[in-house]
Structure 1
Amino acid sequence: MAKNQDIERGNVNLAEPFIDRKRATGEQSSIDNGDLRMVFLSTVVAVCGSFEFGSCMGYSSPAQFGIMEDLNLSYSEYSVFGSIVTIGAMFGAISSGRIADFAGRKGNMRMSSIVCIAGWFAIYIASGDLLLDFGRFFTGFGIGNLSYVVPVYIAEITPKNLRGALATTNQLFITVGIAVAYIIGAFVSWRTLALTGIVPSLVMLIGLFFIPESPRWLAMVGRQKEFEVALRALRGVGANVSQEQTEIQDSIEMLRQIPEVGILDLFNSRNIRYVTLGVGLMVFQQFIGINGIIYYAGQIFVSAGVAPNVGSILYSSLQVVLTAVGATLMDKAGRRLLLLISVSGILIGNLLTGISFILKEHHLALDIAPILAITGVLVYIGSFSVGAGPVPWVIMSEIFPINVKGTAGSLVTLVNWFGSWVVSYSFFYLFTWSSWGVFFVYAAFCVMAIIFTMALVPETKGRTLEEIQASINN
């Protein structure tokens, strides 16, 4: 009973199964002196999945005009291609947890790599929109799984003192993948660019043969001998892992004592505020327009009179730098303040881009309009990368009680991918309706996001789970 109470009060964090607590007597952590080269190698292999994620998300912008010309696609047909990746990702996100629990973390990553390779190959050989969309759906399914399993695997293999730093590599390599897709896409055809998308999956597929399975998963499924071997491989031959073995086993036992939570339980009076906050953050993260900008940046720059390759390379490179900056500010400025500053910058970026299209439409200040467009997009991407991109995921991981995290996390991830699909699919229709109006629609969502954040989002930096839950319920 005491264990269950500790869990509910937030005194035990099962998301950190490898905690090696120092004893009150000052005992040195056994893993501090271990050889962590295998941890770093395993992280490098895992973030190939993050790189794949970014490659897939960044593909549609540099490939747009080549695909439309070679396959004679209309804007609406290309909208289907650009957005169907999110449909596949929704299916992948729904199934990812079950696949990872059944086949293991490595099994999930291996399956996802194969699916992504098949999808890219289908895009490469496509002679019409049917096979093109089929391939895009498959890559979406693959990255939907990877979006779940990569951060889970990194968290489960990494010692506590390195977990924060290594966890940020997931988001960082997503932005790197997007940037590389834009840069390479400026110099090669869309078919060749599809082949380059195979590379990170292929590297991951090969690398998985050289890294261990998650020890925590092995412990959960009762493979005790393999669990000990994997843990020793990650900590180094000379490391004393006996204490860590015990702690992992204890965390697994506590996990088994927590009652399962169904989807309907999320909407009872005890959990509805957490769900409202988590879902709300993901809705606003998408409906401020990020995937409309990422997927169709080339079209935005062309319509504004800016060379698409120049603009896309600039903003994707900026995204990488500022994502790294945002990671360093997360525990200094605080989540809530960083989110407010970020969304305010996105609001300004949308307004600048919208004004540039108003000027172009009315043939006013035509020399200034392209500068406003590229400035608006850069301000938008920079602001999103610092806060609105990573912060909702961080807050989501902090606000849910541990016994509802799995179910609530699946729901929130599904909402995020559904919002991504709506925005990416609707962008061209809104852009056709009004080239400037679409950005003012996104700006309106920015205003609503600011109000939502000020009214409902608590500051979670440096607070215990109990304090966070109390602030939400008050």
Structure 2
Amino acid sequence: MSFSDDPVVLKTADGIQQEPSRERRIRLLKQIGLFFMTTLGPLNFGMGLSWVNTIASDFEHDNTTLFGNELQLHNWQFDMMSSLVFIGTLPGFLIGGYLVARFGRRKSMMLIIPPCMAGWLFVALATNAIMILVGRFISGFAYALVVVSVRTYLSEISDKEIRGAAILSAECMKSMGAILIVALGMIGTWYYAAFFCVCEILFFGIAVLPFLPESPTFLTVTGKDEKAMKVLKRLRGKYIDVEGEMCNLKEANERGDGNNGWSALLKPDVMKKCLIVFGLFLISNFSGTEVIKANAVRMLQTSGLSFDSEVSTIIIFVLLLAGNLCQALLVDRIGRKKCLILSLILLLTAYVILGTYVFLESTGNFETEVGEARTENPWNWVPTACLLVCAFSSSLGIGPTPWMLAVEYFPTSIRSQVMSVCTFFGSLMSFASLQVYSPLQYALTPAGLYWSYASFAGIGIIYTIFIVHETKGVNVG
């Protein structure tokens, strides 16, 4: 994200004027305020993804519900708590694509509130595993609407010079939500954390959404020029040629073959870009990005934990947030591809070291005996350190970038529809990677699983260099 002091030269109907640097900074700060308010939805998404860590930590010493009965959960049920969120997103993405295109970005965000509250209430009031699993599925449906509406909205209200950072603000808030829910789990129970999530999403619906403007590009493309002009003046300032930008938007959304909306998805140029995004989602999920978020506690437990699991989990999610913030600072400067390559190189290195450590530790290579006593392993900090690097590097590029390109590769007239299809595939991959976590750990051993993640990261480097298209500074319509 850049706040250059150089004045920005913009053409207006009266000629060429300069936007003073001070006014530009104030205008961009107002946009950032809009980003923050909008991303209170993704904040709840982040809490939902990481909530499994809270209940997993609680069940180490207390498995009672709000009503005092004991709740027995198996490993496959913990897997389902994570993966059912992504199963729920599958119909949600397809329906969300229609709603966002038909009713607009802001109204679609309002539709998030009822299912999200219902999902969390099922979890908070659960007396058995089925209620929790049902609640997780419903929450997943709501989160699909969050992804399609919020990310589309952020890309369309921001200046193109900070568009990457704007889209990444949703990912930053997801990471903050993940940290917040684990912290709440340290001072309360898993069901009180769920009640907090109910209150948070209700606040988003009542105190934020009614005051957000509609996307100006959506208004322009749907022929609501007068409303679009007012919003554009508010977002871009008085030095912009509003009519010129609106004309450019309309031209960018006019396909030469006359196909717009869902029918455009079958055209070769659109399908090619979809396949590129599909490949990134595959690489992202099978290099462990979602697994780390949902199973940080369990990964630490099976890797040779060096200190308290909740503290380690908090640190991991702080590193996830740090990676998001670093990418937000870099993505509009060095571009999407370079962030991806840097991210995957770090992931590859960390997973190779982690897998090697876990393999050597499992074969007793770190155990030494002094008389009848065994000495403490001096390398027990390695698994936590490697997972911290994995968390940071995944959020530096390969985690959020597929979601970003699913927005940026397509113009407004087909953006929500194509994004819903791309993210539908992304959720399928997330479900698959989360659901096979325990089986793969058993089949490959933990070391083999980490080496498989490293292999996908290596493939991702080659894929990014030769296949992925850069969108830095490009007008995406």
CA distance in 2, matches of 1:124, 1:152: 31
Q: Which moved more, 1:41-50 or 1:294-303?
A: 41-50
Q: Which moved more, 1:304-313 or 1:64-73?
A: 64-73
User: For residue 390 of structure 1, what is the aligned residue in structure 2?
Assistant: 400
1:352 deviation in Å?
2.7
User: For residue 285 of structure 2, what is the aligned residue in structure 1?
Assistant: 286
Cα distance 1:116–1:38, how it changes in 2: closer, same or farther (>3 A)? same
1:84 deviation in Å?
0.2
Cα distance 1:355–1:327, how it changes in 2: closer, same or farther (>3 A)? same
Map 1:236-315 → 2, pairs under 5 A: 243-244=241-242, 247-248=245-246, 251-252=249-250, 255=253, 259-260=258-259, 270=269, 273-306=272-305, 307-315=308-316
CA distance in 1, matches of 2:16, 2:51: 52
Secondary structure at the residue paired with 1:436?
helix
Cα distance 1:29–1:333, how it changes in 2: closer, same or farther (>3 A)? closer
Matched, 1:346 2:347: yes
Cα distance 1:423–1:369, how it changes in 2: closer, same or farther (>3 A)? farther
Matched, 1:430 2:440: yes
CA contact (8 A) 1:114 1:201 kept: no
CA distance in 2, matches of 1:376, 1:244: 50
Matched, 1:53 2:45: yes
Q: What is the letter of the counterpart of residue 185 of structure 1?
A: G
Q: Which moved more, 1:354-363 or 1:217-226?
A: 217-226
User: For residue 43 of structure 1, what is the aligned residue in structure 2?
Assistant: 35
CA contact (8 A) 1:334 1:460 kept: yes
1:390 deviation in Å?
3.0
Q: Which moved more, 1:63-72 or 1:411-420?
A: 63-72
Map 1:120-199 → 2, pairs under 5 A: 120-160=120-160, 163-199=163-199
Secondary structure at the residue paired with 2:17?
coil
- Gaps in structure 2 of 5+ consecutive residues: 1-7, 65-70, 368-376
Q: What is the letter of the counterpart of residue 66 of structure 1?
A: D
CA contact (8 A) 2:304 2:380 kept: yes
TM-score after normalising by structure 2: 0.81
1:288 deviation in Å?
0.7
CA distance in 1, matches of 2:473, 2:97: 29
User: For residue 5 of structure 1, what is the aligned residue in structure 2?
Assistant: none
C-alpha distance after superposition, 1:147-184 (max 9, x if no partner) = 11112223333455664554432221111111212222
C-alpha distance after superposition, 1:271-312 (max 9, x if no partner) = 554343222112101111112221111011122342211211
C-alpha distance after superposition, 1:81-110 (max 9, x if no partner) = 221000112222221121123333222111
C-alpha distance after superposition, 1:191-243 (max 9, x if no partner) = 011122224312210112233333444455555665566566x459xx75995
User: For residue 200 of structure 2, what is the aligned residue in structure 1?
Assistant: 200
Matched residue count: 444
Aligned-residue RMSD, C-alpha? 3.4
CA contact (8 A) 1:279 1:412 kept: yes
CA distance in 2, matches of 1:402, 1:228: 16
CA distance in 2, matches of 1:166, 1:265: 26
CA distance in 2, matches of 1:341, 1:183: 30
CA distance in 2, matches of 1:21, 1:115: 44
Cα distance 1:361–1:346, how it changes in 2: closer, same or farther (>3 A)? same
1:26 to 16, 19, 22: 16
Cα distance 1:226–1:398, how it changes in 2: closer, same or farther (>3 A)? closer
1:126 deviation in Å?
0.7
Secondary structure at the residue paired with 2:364?
coil
CA contact (8 A) 2:121 2:135 kept: yes
User: For residue 72 of structure 1, what is the aligned residue in structure 2?
Assistant: 72
Cα distance 1:393–1:145, how it changes in 2: closer, same or farther (>3 A)? same
CA distance in 1, matches of 2:474, 2:113: 38
CA distance in 2, matches of 1:257, 1:335: 26
Q: Which moved more, 1:336-345 or 1:218-227?
A: 218-227
User: For residue 448 of structure 1, what is the aligned residue in structure 2?
Assistant: 459
Q: Provide the identity percentage.
A: 23
User: For residue 213 of structure 1, what is the aligned residue in structure 2?
Assistant: 214
Cα distance 1:85–1:371, how it changes in 2: closer, same or farther (>3 A)? same
CA distance in 1, matches of 2:340, 2:416: 24
CA contact (8 A) 1:115 1:139 kept: yes
1:78 deviation in Å?
1.9
Q: What is the letter of the counterpart of residue 253 of structure 2?
A: L
TM-score after normalising by structure 1: 0.82
CA contact (8 A) 1:352 1:375 kept: no
CA distance in 2, matches of 1:188, 1:223: 49
